Amino acid sequence: MTDTNAPLPDLRDLPFDIDLRRLNLGVGYVALGLPVSLGLVSLLTNTCFNASISHYYFSRIGGDILVGALSFIGLLLMFFYSFRAPGREGCLGWHWYDVVLLKLAGVAAVIVAFVPTTGSGCTYSGEVARVFLTNASGSEGFHPPGGTVEGTISYDFWASFAALGADVPTVLKMMHFGAAGVMFLVLGYFSAYVFTRENSTAARLAGNRKDRRNLWYRTLGRIIFAVVGVLAIKAALLEMILPLGLAQSIEAIWDSLRLTFLFESLGLCAFGLSWMIKGRFIAAFEDAAARPQPRAA
C-alpha cells in the first residue's frame, strides 16, 4: 500500500541533472555543428555540395543529420523552456512573451525539418541521392528472388501525395521558407534583446562580464538579422522584381557559388555561438560571482 504522506524525493537525489547552461550549450553546439557536419558529408562521401542547407534533406547521411539536428533544437525550444522560466535564475529578465516566441521558433525548426524545400539543390550524375518516386511500382528484396522498383524520380516531396497534384502548392512551398525566416528572426531577437538583459544574480554583482557578453550577443544577433535580410531581398528580387531571364541568370550564378548555403551557415553559426556564450562554454565569459570559490583553510 502506498504511503501518501511519504516525503517527496529531493531533486538532488534524482538520477539526472537538468542544468540550464548545459541545455544552452547543447542547443549551441548542435546549431554550430550542423553546417560543419553537412559540409563534411559532401567531402567524405564524395557527393554534391548542395545549394542550401535545406537541400541536404536529399543527400545521403546529410538528410538524417539535418532532420535530427533541427528536431533536437525544435523539441528543446518547445518543451524545455516553460512559462515559469521568467523571473528565475538564468531567466531573470525574461517575459512571458519571450517564452511564446521561443516555442514558436521550436515549431518553426520542426517545420523546416519535415517540410522539405523544392528541387534537388544539385546536378546529380550517377550519385545516390535521397529521392521520391512517383507512380512507383515493383519491389526490391521483399520476395525472393527480388525485383525492380520503377517510377519517376522526383525531388518534390509533395508530389508523393497524389491528392496535392504534381506541383507543390504555393502555401506548402512558402511554409518551409516562412518557418526558416521565423526561426532565425526569433533567435536573432533572443541574441540581441533577451540575452543582453540581466538574467542572473551573478551578472548584477561586482566582477561580472556582462558588457563583454552583451557585445557578442548584439553582434551575433545583428549577423542573424543580416542573413535573413539578404536572403529575403534575394528572394524578392528573383521571384517578383527582376525579369525572368535575368533572374534565372543571377540565380544560376548564386547557386553555383553556394551563397545560400554560406549565408545560412553564417546565421546558424551566429545562433550557435550566441547560445554557447549563454552556456559559458569558455571561462572568459563567466562572472566572478559564478565561479567556484576556494574553500576556507
DSSP 266-286: HHHHHHHHHHHHHTT-SGGG-
How far apart, in whole angstroms, are the C-alpha atoms of residue 245 and residue 1? 78
Q: How far apart are CA 12 and CA 224, in angstroms?
A: 38
Per-residue pLDDT of the chain (297 residues; tens, 9 = 90+): 555 666 665 656 666 667 888 889 999 999 999 999 999 999 998 888 999 999 999 888 899 999 999 999 999 999 988 899 899 888 999 999 999 999 999 999 999 998 888 788 887 776 667 777 777 777 766 555 566 778 777 777 776 666 665 556 667 778 899 999 999 999 999 999 999 999 999 999 998 999 999 999 999 999 999 999 999 999 999 988 999 999 999 999 999 999 999 999 999 999 999 999 999 999 999 999 888 766 655
Cell of 249: 541568370
DSSP state of 46: T
Taking the C-alpha atoms of residue 194 and residue 277, their distance in angstroms, rounded to an integer, is 13
Q: Please return the burial class of 170, using the count of CB atoms within 10 Å of its CB with bins 0-12, 13-18 and 19+.
A: exposed
The closest alpha carbon to 179, from 105, 103, 78, belongs to 105
145 upstream amide cis, omega within 30 of 0: yes
Give 127's Cβ-side CA count (13 Å radius).
Answer: 17
pTM for this predicted structure: 0.87
- Max Cα–Cα distance, the chain, nearest Å: 78
SS3 149: strand
138 DSSP β-pair partners: 149
**Three-point CA angle 251, 171, 152, nearest 5°:** 70
**Phi/psi of residue 288, nearest 5 degrees:** -60, -40
Residue pair 132/159 in contact by the 8 Å Cβ criterion: yes
